[in-house]
Copies of this chain bind each other. A is one copy, B any other.
């Protein structure tokens, strides 16, 4: 039975396992590959508005955050980031979390959601956000230094609710 709820501080050991797995590979997020557990806690749990976990029984399979993309006159647009544990991919958890995050965003009063750095090499993600109604509103040449592909373009994807 899958459940999505707000993350608590004691969830972080399990979140860290997922975060480290994804960030150390350096193929999707722009966080430094050597980001420490303490820095990851700041990034994922503190510098966000809310953080959620997706659980099956007691196991955390995936996590997402929501925060303002810009302050002030840009604060009606939120930004989210999603991470799914390698062993839980292919089960639709990213879709589940993205739908949940859109509900959360609207409850928090946001009018739109923006992803700032979707790598064109991450075809599955591009397809997924596209299926969920996000439009590609920009493409930044060579925005990301990929460990295997060298410089990769990144898309900006956006959905007005």
Q: What residues make up the interface of A, taking CB atoms closer than 8 Å to B? A: 26, 29-33, 35, 70-77, 111-112, 114, 116-117, 137-147, 154, 156, 158, 160
Contacts and interface: CB of A to CB of B under 8 A. Distances in A.
Contacts of A112: 141-143
| Interface SS of chain A | strand
A76 B35 CA distance: 17
State the oligomeric state as a number of copies: 2
Nearest to A69: B143
B71 A31 contact: yes
Rank and list the top 4 A-B pairs by shortest CB-CB distance, nearest first. Answer: A138-B138, A30-B74, A32-B72, A30-B70
A138 to B, nearest CB: 2
A75 B117 CA distance: 13
Given A70-B117, A137-B139, 12 more contacts: A26-B73, A29-B73, A31-B72, A32-B72, A33-B72, A70-B116, A74-B144, A74-B154, A77-B143, A112-B141, A112-B142, A142-B160
A75 B26 CA distance: 13
B74 A117 contact: yes
